[in-house]
Amino acid sequence: MTDTGTDIASGPRTGTPAQTPISGTTRLYVVLGDPVAQVRSPGLLNPLFAEQGADAVLVPVEVRPDSLERVVRGLQRIGNLDGIFVTVPHKAGAARLAERRSRAVEIAGTANVLRREADGGWLAENFDGSGFVAGLARAGHEVRGRRVALAGAGGAGSAVAAALLTAGADRVAVTDPDLPKLEALVDRLAGYWPGRVHAAAEPPLHDSDLAVNATPLGLRPGDPLPFSPEDLAPGSVVADIIMKPHETALLRAAAALGLPIHHGIHMLTGQVASYCAFFGLRAPANG
């Protein structure tokens, strides 16, 4: 769930049970964002809760950045609230509001989900990057040895960069107009993968075989492209982590050039099994 407006998602579901009735015993989950209208996690998790007979519900909560800490601290005091999902623009802020952070969160500096632990503390995790890599693998796009141009050093971009490096990308060149944020991310990642991650003023598309948009550009009609796909070599894969719209302007432009494209939904469906394990649910049979 990201600064691109993405989170767990699913296409239309058919034949699923109605949502379990809410009662005094219902366990609560929330997804925090600003905006929050685009989130798709309730459409996945609530049917999943019903399928498994879980007495739980996930609801969207719109939170301004200046209210994030107050809202999260209040939610963490709700006795029957078990999990907090996080999307744009709260991933870095949410990571700082958990007592414990996974290795993925420590590396990326961002989180997209928090879980209440048995002792009442909160654990922050981030499945954006692993979900993105899993989605690439399912679509037949190998990461190992790839030269990657990555646009975006924010909440999702940082997790995607770390996961690509973990999966064996030969080089990840990251661009972002926020230079302090970009430099901080590259410095942090270089401590784990020296020589394989670089900051770039412009995406080195001529020298990349995988180009990824992890910025919000493409969420709104009229957004400029995050990079120019015509500068890529034939056969280079263009990936977008934006889910809505499904066909972003970037992907349309890349497809028109005959380049292989990779939709945002793949990143999101790639996270389903991880979320289920994280919250003690059974993964869906098709997940």
Kindly state the helix (H) or strand (E) to which residue 56 belongs, with its residue range. Answer: strand 56-62
DSSP type of residue 65:
G
CB atoms within 10 A of CB 104: 21
**91 carries an active-site annotation:** yes
Catalytic residue (one of 30, 42, 56, 91): 91
Please state, in angstroms and rounded to a whole number, the distance separating the CA atoms of residues 78 and 253. Answer: 47
> What stretches of 52-197 show up as alpha helix (H) in DSSP?
68-75, 91-95, 103-108, 128-138, 155-166, 179-190
Please state, in angstroms and rounded to a whole number, the distance separating the CA atoms of residues 34 and 54. Answer: 28
- Going by C-beta distance under 8 Å and a sequence separation of 6 or more, which residues neighbour residue 111? 86, 91, 94, 95, 98, 101, 105, 124, 125, 126
Q: Is the dihedral of CA 60, 62, 68, 72 positive or negative?
A: negative
Task: Please give the C-alpha separations between residue 161 and each of 81, 108, 124, 153, 211, in angstroms, as whole numbers.
Answer: 31, 8, 18, 8, 12
> What stretches of 96-232 show up as alpha helix (H) in DSSP?
103-108, 128-138, 155-166, 179-190
Alpha carbon 8 to chain centroid distance? 8
101: left (phi over 0), alpha (psi -120 to 50) or beta: beta
Give catalytic residue positions. Answer: 91
